Amino acid sequence: MATATFAEPLLTISAMSLLTEDLAASKAFYTDVFGARVLNEDAESCAVKFNNLIINLLAASAGEELVQPAKVAPPEAGKRFQLSIWVDDLDAAMAKLRSKGVTFLSGPEVKPWGLKTVTFDDPAGHNWEIAQDVTK
């Protein structure tokens, strides 16, 4: 199998697409809870800017073209990834998220590798972790 080579090193993930069954609820979550700015939107998608990352919220019904030849998995298929945000003050981040209506699924707990974490889901079931390095 051939491996891809790049002229420059890969520096960062710049954009990602998240499929959702309820585009309006996902847009509200990312703009209200995370304070993301809407870059553009149409009937099937809403691209928001979250710090240096563009998150494309895409209606699951429009996702087939994006993931071909695979199929779009239903929400009940389970979790296969987690998105992490590192913060300097986990308690303050938790308080802000709670004030926006976020319900935590786990934590806070200190992991063996030195991160204190909590997790929650967005309206489409994408799993997020907020983490603070407690080894500093």
Average pLDDT of the residues in 28-41: 96
Q: In what order do the strands lie in the sheet with 45-50?
A: 15-20, 53-59, 45-50, 37-41
Sequence spans of domains, the chain: 12-63, 80-136
Q: What is the pLDDT of residue 136?
A: 81
Task: Name the fold adopted by 12-63.
Answer: 2,3-Dihydroxybiphenyl 1,2-Dioxygenase; domain 1 (3.10.180)
Average pLDDT of the residues in 33-38: 96
Q: Is the pTM of this model over 0.85?
A: no
Q: What is the pLDDT of residue 11?
A: 66
Q: What is the pLDDT of residue 30?
A: 96
Residue at 61: amino acid letter: S
| DSSP 8-state class, residue 69 | T
Rounded Cα distance between 114 and 16, Å, is: 27
Average pLDDT of the residues in 37-61: 94
Q: Answer yes or no: is pLDDT of 17 > 70.
A: yes
pLDDT band, residue 1 (cuts 50/70/90): very low
Return the H-helix or E-strand segment holding 66: helix 64-67
Equal CATH topology for 12-63 and 80-136 = yes
CATH architecture of 80-136: Roll (3.10)
Return the H-helix or E-strand segment holding 94: helix 90-99
pLDDT tens digits, 73-115: 887 888 878 999 999 999 999 999 999 999 999 999 999 999 9
